[in-house]
A and B are shown apart, each in its own frame.
Chain A
Amino acid sequence: MTFRRSLLAACLALSAALVPGLVMAQGTIRIGMTAADIPLTHGQPDQGFEGNRFTGIPIYDSLTQWDLSAADRASVVIPSLAERWEVDPADQTRWTFHLRRGVKFHDGSDFTADTVVWNVNKVLDREAPQYDARQVGLTATRMPTLRRAEKVDDYTVRLITSEPDSLLPINLTNLFMASPVHWAALRAQHPTAEATWNAFAAAPSGTGPFRVTRFVPRERLELARFDGYWSTKAKADRLVLLPIPDASARTAALLSGQVDWIEAPSPDALGQLRSRSMTITQNLQPHVWPWQPCFVAGSPLADVRIRRALNLAIDRDGLKQLLGGLMVAPVGTVAPGHPWWGNPSFQIRTDKAAAARLLAEAGYGPQRRLTIKVQISASGSGQMQPLPMNEFIQQDLKPLGIDIEFDVVDWNTLFGNWRQGCQAASARGAHATNVSFAAMDPFFAMVRFWDSKMAPPTSNNWGFFNDPRFDAMIREARTTFDPVARDAALARLHAAGVDEALFIWIAHDVSPRAMTPRIRGYVQPQSWFVDLRLPYIQ
């Protein structure tokens, strides 16, 4: 027995020596991203939330983080580099964050309160040496009320907001902590702060579970497990991230064994992927694919009956079939069971008879047809399959007496128009716009659309929705600091939004991924993000 074991061990050792690539590949996960370039690696990624997913969370940590450990419940904010926090009851614009001790950056330096102040200043203090205009656009937008940070002691920091804002801990998931020590070392070698940040991006240092080992611009980013990580360490030895923007190329790369995991496989390829034993994963994602109505006078969607009728008229099962099952039929911006659900009385479903009754009440039907113009894009990040999906809805609504006209514009243009509103010339008379969005935090899920102060050019209240009841509910949510009570206020806001049918909710994306069956331990949470510490190659 001993001899046989020794022989087996010798054979394994010999195999390992002869096939080094094979041994390396056992702990290396190669991922094909949808991005056309490596998302920025200096700590504030671009390329939307795909950037946060691959070059934010794996390399860096923030004060708070999303719980990505489970697939069967809503992802909520939990402590990260901050162990706990509280707002000053006497002055609700002052927050105290108590920091985790013993956290090290990849360069070996310590994470302290100075680090937090330095990282806040990199985007908010124009006079700070490390201020970087590029990172402002990527960060300040996601924490709109944060104004400054003050050190209390080495492991306590005070954050000041412009107004009482209970959403701050959620917003702080977007501020990643880069190493000031590493930056200062690079600054000595580079003439400007901008050049230093570029050098930092090529050789980053965060506190995350992976450290960058190789960066080839536009081609690949290689990460290795950081053994000094303060929490549960990654199971995979290495990650290789490859930008493959074309869906067919991604699928071919997976099927030919060049990568182990691809983001967003094309629905057309699912059959082929399954036939080759690839694992297709999906889960409800806080992603909304809607028609956002224009509420100004003259728009037919200013009438709540028509908005409700549209929400009842769409055959979402048919749409799901069109997408190969890669969508969830929405019943609101968030799903039942989510802390902000709120149990609205209006039930979003397919009920064409009820839709016809509502349309008739509003004075429309097959005899007096209703025309609605929607501005859409032909493609775009997060837009799923905009042309076939919209054309399906167009055909679906026709028998009810609803004629849908499309104004198809470039994705970048549609995005730009989103900030200008439905009264601007850029809307070209559209009654709705079809921009999909992330609904991770309350500001991005609801506030920016339903707060009258968020009308263009301030933010994305494209339809100029203006209702004092909603303004009051938003104010209440933002000034309620007990998390449970705040979620209850947000739930009331969400329920009211569904009851007023403030969107035509059409689909939720499910963030499909395809991967080789050799990948184990993977958990797809109800989130845009993934905990890359969990998966490994068998």
Chain B
Amino acid sequence: MILYLLRRALYAIPIALAVGFVCFMLVQIAPGDPINAIVPPDAPGDVVEQVRRDYGLDKPLPVQFGLWLLKVVQGDLGRSLATGRSVWSDLRTAIGNTLMLAVCASVLGFIVGCTLGGLAGTFRGTVLDRVATGIAVAGVSVPHYWLGMVMVVIFSVQLNWLPAMGAGPGGSSDWAWDWEHFQFLVLPTITLSVIPTGIVTRTVRGIVAEIMNQEFVTALRGKGLTRMRIFLHVVKNAAPNALAVIGLQLGYLMGGSILVETVFSWPGTGLLLNSAIFQRDLPVLQGTILVLAMFFVALNLIVDLIQAALDPRIKRA
């Protein structure tokens, strides 16, 4: 197991390099000039060139990439061009906020998806199955930013039950797990959970349906086990695949919640990326994408390990 862990950790190095390189090049070939994050567009040419030199943006691209990489391996993601703040300090706060949102959405999606998928798979062909499948299809089809806006209109603007935006009455730095703060999490969590709910529902339905057709279930029935005991056997067999799906969904939610975080002004990585893209803030963009990619790699590894622990049939060399 230790060798396996080491090997997977080593795999992460070329992935990190590739992600860093691709991200760097994509930002470079995108239209626009990162100097616009620092100087106003109406700045005279000589001032622009002076600032470009001051920030090292006049150096050849390979040199810029090399310098950035050298700092990264020393644990320094650099400083934001726009604010001058350490990328890591902003990123650390943003990751914490996004992780909180993504975990809540994943847990909600997992619970609702497993429940709906389990029921649909167990009672195939019934009205219950059709309703659950309908919810799953809607979940993966409805644009979640649109859903977020609709929920804000209903629950914040019309009913005034829940806050429309932000991460707590005093910002995320004052976060506490009480209702005064938790209410800020409700709408973004529900919005973000819709897609994983749909995906988990469909996955679990398929797995449960398949397991229910297997011979061992017939044998369990023949032995006279109750429906509940049989259900527990089904759950145990379905869990590894369901966990794999939700694990990947957590990864997607970490990096893919740009729109939801923008709609709710949730100060996470999505909002950070959004503003960095518009400002051409290269260090923030590169640092955020790199850390999210590494997070995704780590998450895959954790999911693999949990799968192996839950299902001994999954052999790891």
Contact = CB atoms under 8 A, between A and B. Distances in A.
Contact of B42 (A134, A409, A459): A459
Contacts of B55: 133
A258 B166 contact: yes
Interface in A196-224: 197-198, 201, 216-220
B45 interface: yes
B241 interface: no
A459 B43 CA distance: 7
B48 A419 contact: yes
A500 interface: no
Contacts of A36: 271, 274-275, 278-279
A46 interface: yes
B280 A245 contact: no
Contacts of B50: 133, 136
Contacts of A88: none
A458 B230 CA distance: 78
Nearest to A426: B31
A141 B278 CA distance: 22
Interface string A405-422: 000011111011011000
B42 A460 contact: yes
Interface residues on B, range: 35 or more
A428 to B, nearest CB: 11
Contacts of B263: 246, 248-249
A444 B163 contact: no
Interface residues of A, number: 54
Contacts of A197: 84
B264 A256 contact: no
A427 interface: no
Contacts of B280: 412
A37 interface: yes
B33 A412 contact: yes
Most B C-beta atoms less than 10 A away, residue of A252, A410, A435, A444? A252
Given A37-B82, A217-B83, A249-B164, A255 B271 contact: no
Given A413-B31, A416-B32, A140 B47 contact: yes
Contacts of A194: 79, 84
B291 to A, nearest CB: 16
A26 B74 CA distance: 49
A413 B32 contact: yes
Contacts of A413: 31-32
Contacts of A136: 47, 50-51, 54
A132 B55 CA distance: 11
Contacts of B152: 248-249, 252, 256
A410 B82 CA distance: 19
B41 A418 contact: yes
Contacts of A249: 152, 164-165, 262-265
Contact of A216 (B46, B51, B79, B171): B171
Nearest to B259: A246
Nearest to A141: B43
A243 B165 CA distance: 11
A419 B153 contact: no
A360 interface: no
B143 to A, nearest CB: 14
A138 interface: yes
Contacts of A217: 83, 85, 89-90, 93
Interface of B: 31-33, 35-36, 38-48, 50-51, 54-55, 79, 82-86, 89-90, 93-94, 149, 152-153, 156-157, 160, 163-167, 170-173, 262-265, 267, 271-272, 274-275, 278-280
Q: Which 5 A-B pairs have the closest CB atoms?
A: A137-B39, A412-B32, A36-B275, A133-B54, A415-B41
21 contacts: A37-B83, A46-B83, A48-B40, A133-B54, A133-B55, A134-B38, A134-B84, A137-B51, A140-B47, A220-B171, A245-B262, A248-B152, A249-B263, A252-B157, A256-B157, A258-B165, A410-B32, A412-B31, A412-B33, A458-B46, A459-B42
Given A137-B38, A419-B48, 15 more contacts: A137-B35, A141-B44, A198-B84, A201-B84, A217-B83, A219-B171, A252-B157, A256-B163, A257-B160, A412-B31, A412-B278, A419-B42, A458-B44, A459-B44, A459-B45
